[in-house]
Amino acid sequence: MHLSKAVVRTEHASRYLQQLCKHWSHKFSVDFDAHKGRVPFSETTEVTFSADDTALTMALSVADAAQQARMQGVIDDHLKRFAFREELDIVWTD
């Protein structure tokens, strides 16, 4: 498994977590509440979210390293669409 994590500073972390999870719940079996969420994109790829008052933390797990950058991009793109009113700094680390 290849793991990466991004901590995104925002006061709207819970809102974005819920929007992302609701969006993907149409295709995947998503679990979430106001403070944590999990999106299983496949049997070998998933993202988990946690939100507090200052940040949204995203943890991505992929089986194939070649998928890691692509999935990070998918998650980033969706988050930026929901957070279009603010400039988010999204940096993934292994």
The pTM of the full predicted model, rounded to 2 decimals, is 0.94
In a domain? residue 92: no
Task: Report residue 29's pLDDT band, with 50, 70 and 90 as the boundaries.
Answer: very high
Range of the domain at 15: 2-83
In a domain? residue 88: no
In a domain? residue 7: yes
User: What's the rounded Cα separation, in Å, for the pair 20 and 38?
Assistant: 10
Task: Report residue 36's pLDDT band, with 50, 70 and 90 as the boundaries.
Answer: very high
| Average pLDDT for the chain | 96
Domain count, the chain: 1
In a domain? residue 37: yes
In a domain? residue 22: yes
Task: Report residue 65's pLDDT band, with 50, 70 and 90 as the boundaries.
Answer: confident
User: What's the rounded Cα separation, in Å, for the pair 90 and 5?
Assistant: 10
In a domain? residue 20: yes
DSSP 34: S
In a domain? residue 14: yes
In a domain? residue 47: yes
CATH number, position 47: 3.30.310.50
